[in-house]
């Protein structure tokens, strides 16, 4: 797909701008948040490339970013991750979807199945961790942000492994949900401790 200039300029600038927002918006910037921002930025750049190596670099970078988000969310939670039936059901369903996406990825390239499955599970744990954040510690922004991240990545999976075609509308939906997701997460982690 031939990408338009707003994508080529906007996507690489998103995470540095959000990292700057975090640094300027808090007296004690979080090392984990800045790590997640940096890894997300590397992932953004990698996913602008084409081919297996670029894709796996992007998946690996976002995998690391989600681990940093999970650690940050768990620090803001006083309840067990699997402490509610809803979170347990969500993780079960998300695991099934990650498995389905891994099977779809395997049809395209067998070496992608395990990384896609591991990434999907980590993304699901990140969303469940956001749901477990205590009231007053950013959950009102973190959970919608994490949920939109899941939507954005599901759209990428559909585009890459199911639809198999480039679509400007789908690309706009991916970028829009991703940008809003990252902005909500940054704001939730900046405004509250």
Q: Reply yes or no on whether the pLDDT at 125 is more than 90.
A: yes
Q: What local confidence, expressed as pLDDT, does residue 50 receive? A: 85
> In angstroms, rounded to a whole number, what is the distance separating the alpha carbons of residues 123 and 95?
10
> In angstroms, rounded to a whole number, what is the distance separating the alpha carbons of residues 54 and 33?
24
> In angstroms, rounded to a whole number, what is the distance separating the alpha carbons of residues 24 and 52?
37
Q: Reply yes or no on whether the pLDDT at 1 is more than 60.
A: no
What would the pLDDT profile of 11-22 be if each residue is shown by its tens digit? 889 999 999 999
Q: Reply yes or no on whether the pLDDT at 165 is more than 90.
A: no
pTM of the full predicted structure? 0.91
Which token pair is 84?
Answer: 């509610």
> In angstroms, rounded to a whole number, what is the distance separating the alpha carbons of residues 185 and 33?
9
Please count the other Cβ atoms lying within 10 Å of the Cβ belonging to residue 127.
25
Confidence of residue 3 (pLDDT cuts 50, 70, 90): low
Q: How distant, in Å, are the alpha carbons of 10, 106, 131, 187 from that of 139?
A: 27, 35, 7, 11
Q: What is the mean pLDDT of residues 122-151?
A: 96
Confidence of residue 124 (pLDDT cuts 50, 70, 90): very high
CB contact at 8 A, 68 and 32: yes
What would the pLDDT profile of 35-54 be if each residue is shown by its tens digit? 999 999 999 999 888 889 99
Of residues 168 and 148, which shows the higher confidence score? 148
């Amino acid at each position: 797909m031939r990408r338009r200039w707003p994508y080529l300029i906007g996507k690489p600038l998103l995470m540095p701008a959000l990292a700057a927002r975090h640094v300027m918006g808090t007296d004690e910037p979080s090392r984990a948040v800045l790590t997640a921002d940096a890894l997300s930025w590397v992932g953004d750049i990698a996913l602008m490339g084409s081919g297996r190596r670029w894709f796996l670099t992007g998946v690996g970078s976002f995998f690391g970013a989600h681990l940093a988000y999970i650690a940050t969310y768990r620090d803001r939670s006083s309840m067990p991750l699997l402490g509610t039936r809803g979170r347990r059901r969500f993780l079960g369903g998300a695991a099934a979807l990650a498995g389905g996406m891994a099977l779809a990825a395997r049809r395209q390239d067998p070496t992608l199945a395990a990384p896609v499955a591991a990434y999907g599970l980590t993304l699901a744990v990140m969303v469940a961790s956001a749901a477990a954040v205590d009231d007053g510690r950013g959950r009102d922004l973190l959970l919608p942000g994490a949920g939109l991240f899941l939507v954005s990545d599901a759209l990428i999976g559909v585009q890459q492994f199911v639809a198999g075609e480039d679509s400007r509308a789908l690309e706009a939906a991916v970028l829009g949900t991703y940008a809003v997701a990252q902005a909500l997460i940054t704001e939730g982690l900046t405004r509250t401790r």
